[in-house]
Amino acid sequence: MASASIPVYNCSNNPLENSSSQNASRESLKMEPLAVTLLPGEERVIDKDIMYICPFSGPVKGKVFITNYRLYFKSADADPSVTLNVPLGAIGRVEKMGGASSRGENSYGLDITCKDMRNLRFALKQEGHSRRDIFDILFRYAFPLSHGLFLFAYLSQEKYEENGWSVYKPMEEFRRQGLPTDKWRITFINDNYELCDTYPTILVVPFKATEEDLRKVSTFRSRGRIPVLSWIHRENQAVICRCSQPLVGMSGKRNKDDERYLDVIREANGTAKLTIYDARPSVNAVANKATGGGYEGDDTYQNAELVFLDIHNIHVMRESLKKLKDIVYPNVEESHWLSSLESTHWLEHIKLVLSGAIQVADKISGGNSVVVHCSDGWDRTAQLTSLAMLMLDSHYRTLRGFQVLLEKEWISFGHKFASRIGHGDKNHADQDRSPIFVQFIDCVWQMTKQFPTAFEFNERLLMTILDHLFSCRFGTFLYNCESARHTNEVRSKTVSLWSLVNSDSTSYLNPFYTPESSRVLYPVASMRHLELWVTYYIRWNPRIRQQQQSPVEQRYMELLALRDEYLKKLEELQLTDSSPNSSHLSNSSAPNAASPTQHITHLHTPF
């Protein structure tokens, strides 16, 4: 079960050893029943009467409940009722609003900035420092790592039928791809994370490359992230390899081992010219030379062609999403909507990422191997490889296959989730924060819109993934790399998000899915065909929330439910038919009467 009854609050278990904790303890004695069921391992910390300054309906009186996992608000007498249910992991910033001498109604309280495209504002009475206890508690539990506390994933006691940690098994996935071959081998050189501490332990490399070759190449690649295989085309044997930038520097250093290694990748399937996709704008790649990085020059990598994909860095993406939030929350600026949206450049960045992935997929379909990198190979590189693999391989478009794709290309290959999201960290201004993974999921959503029957999973899965990217309820997206997860015992001490998803898989299925094993998807990466993902970015607006699913999908789901109901009745009739009391009926039945299975076939036909 994924839920539990409300645990009794125990004052002595409260970890806040200060005046705020004593206030909280006093408050806890007055706690009333909570309108939401708490998770196993979730405990209430404080209740408080408060005023929620709702951006849509104005000030609303009610009570806020804070647990070690969430902030929950319920209005006292508003009609319709107003509720908020915010995982503390989704909070990025907590600030005090106004001071003891502030004038004006509702000018004293708390401002909360969330990571999921919304802000919250609460007002309290000014007398007696009424916000001190709630501010201290909220600050502490929203940013546990900054206060020496555990993330909630380590406190959760949820149990599920499915074990999500068993979804991705590297050896099984490589075998599914047809590996190893006479050209590609599996190596365990990184078994103790000695070759590269941000790579997984199991890697696929050219058969001709020795372990010593790999060590030499790692010295010339940023962070030791050498080119390794991500995916191989079963028919033409073209491969997608990923890595980081070469350490060329201002002096134009060369490394014969690195040059020869890329040539061995090229030779593996007889590619005439290896295409190296550098995700960065060329000007950025040149600038990186000043810090010891760089790119593969034509003069040194003679059997390769270099293509820059002009995708901007993490700082540009962060600012772009901030601008998008400004125009969609709390209210949408209707009068200049198109120009405002264009000024954020968000869809332009989506277009460039999709366009780059299309180029990678097209090269592979044509039988040419590619190498993909950005600066360190854990942001734009992950976007490009995983999107190209989604276009090329229908397995990744299934519910379980998509989970494998995320586990493989993002989680095991070291996308810096902890740094990009800031799990449990109070430093909201950290320059490492960036919505790279959100952007990738947006690209996936764009593909599901253009190919509505090609994906087994639905929009709900994508939104659930993004919600729990922030929530810290599961261990799936915690930490920056596999070695850090191993050190912090994530698999044994936390629950996987896929446990939740796969224990209720029907909720995440697309009713229009039609399996097509050999189809390559080429989405149109044109601004005319890209849309803003309204149901995610503007979902907190009540007007958007009230919109139902599409009438077609709704009717289809109703028909499926009706079919299931008829099948159940048929099964009951079948059981009645086979009972001893009905034997005389079966003897007297006509010899050409339709069997139950024939009836089932007819029931399936309209659907």
Of residues 33, 31, 74, the one with CA closest to residue 54 = 74
Regarding beta strands 109-114 and 83-87, do their DSSP bridges make them parallel or antiparallel, or are they unpaired?
unpaired
Q: Give CA–CA dist 177/161, Å, rounded.
A: 28
Contact call for residues 492 and 431 (beta carbons, < 8 A):
no
Contact call for residues 93 and 112 (beta carbons, < 8 A):
yes
Regarding beta strands 274-278 and 304-308, do their DSSP bridges make them parallel or antiparallel, or are they unpaired?
parallel
Residues annotated in the binding site, as ranges? 313-314, 374-380
Neighbour-count burial of 583, counting CB atoms closer than 10 A to its CB (0-12 exposed, 13-18 middle, 19+ buried): exposed
Q: Give CA–CA dist 49/72, Å, rounded.
A: 12
From residue 296, alpha-carbon distances to 299, 303, 599 in Å are 9, 11, 65
Active site residue 374: yes
Q: Catalytic residue, from 54, 196, 374, 443: name it.
A: 374
**Residue 119 CB neighbours (<10 A):** 15
Residue 569: its H or E element: helix 551-578
- Laid out side by side, the sheet with 228-232 consists of 228-232, 239-242, 370-373, 274-278, 304-308
CA torsion, ordered 10, 13, 15, 20, to nearest 10 deg:
30
Which residues are 104's β-sheet partners? none
Residues annotated in the binding site for substrate, as ranges? 313-314, 374-380
Contact call for residues 354 and 387 (beta carbons, < 8 A):
yes
Q: Collect all residues with Cβ–Cβ distance below 8 Å to 314 and sequence separation of at least 6.
A: 379, 420, 432, 434, 436
Positions annotated as catalytic residues are 374
